[in-house]
Amino acid sequence: MFKTFQGLSSKEILRKIVQDYSYWLSFFLLVIIASVMNPNFFSWNNISNIFVQSAMIGLIAMGMSMVISAGQIDISVGSQVAILGGFGIMVLNATGSVWIMLGFCIIGGAIIGTVNGLLVAKGHLPAMIATLAMQTACRSIINFYGQGGPFTVKKEIYDSFRMIAVGGFQIGSFKIPYMMVIFIVVAIIFNIIMKRTKLGKHIYAVGSNETSARLAGINVDMTKIAVFTITGIMCGVAAVLYASRLTAVASANAAVGYEMEAIAAVAIGGTSMSGGKGKIMGTFLGVLMFKIISNILTSADVSSFLNGAISGSIIVIAVLLQNFQNRKK
């Protein structure tokens, strides 16, 4: 980091910090505002609860960050969670095994994501159209099998399955929720992939300039397929957490709006919505910021029904700021 600032004036250093680390500044500002409005903000119960609430969207946002960095978009993630969670509960009820359910959801998510990737890479469909079709198809299928009603976990396995969402590691007087650990571990893995691996470099290259990436010998089609497949896998894991937390998946409205929340988290985390630039740490903080905003609004007695409007506003503001920074550069 410090090598980046060598040879720069203090004014240039300040400008670069604002441009490249704005998500840190935004995060600390939100934390200060939240702590003023909520005296219990820094209590362990509140902090761990924010992480638990962030976990499902966080996993999806990790995959979404890859997709957007590659210059694509996936608006089917909410419906993917719904269909994988609904059918996953059916598998769980039939087998009684959480591991089999997890395997089913991961494989199912990988298949759905791969289909999205093939439609975009080989079918040459715009990502918005391909994933919109997948969103509609997934929601329609799960509604058909669920008849618009919920898929519920059997009583015999209710308590053990619920422990995924409510359980945790007890360290002294602190309880570290499993969902918090899962979110942090996945974020670390994605950070390593995007920073240290060939796939990460290829994703940024494809998102920055697809033609140049192809001329440089990068398999652009496989890179696109990979990011959609990984996002599908993340939707599969998120579906298990979703089902565990609610012990039911309502076919008609399960995970509705998750795509907007994930995109908003990626946007406020500093990932360029046009592709080619982004940081997993920014997305990680973006997810937490989104939940901290919800925490602030709850403290201010603002209705949760406005979450959709807030998500849309965050995306618009983030993109406007990105455009403003790009014009200044």
The parts of the chain modelled with pLDDT lower than 50 are 2
Check residue 11 and give its pLDDT. Answer: 65
Return mean pLDDT, the chain: 88
List the one residue out of 320, 261, 306, 308 whose CA is nearest residue 286: 261
Cα–Cα dist 222/210, whole Å: 12
CATH assignment, 54-311: 1.10.3470
Q: Across the strands, what pairs with 248? A: 152
Check residue 38 and give its pLDDT. Answer: 82
Residue-wise pLDDT tens digits, 14-61: 666 666 667 787 788 888 888 888 888 889 998 999 999 999 999 999
Torsion of CA 138, 140, 145, 150, to 10 degrees: 90
CA angle 107, 234, 26 (to 5 degrees): 175
Check residue 172 and give its pLDDT. Answer: 82
Check residue 26 and give its pLDDT. Answer: 79
Check residue 242 and give its pLDDT. Answer: 95
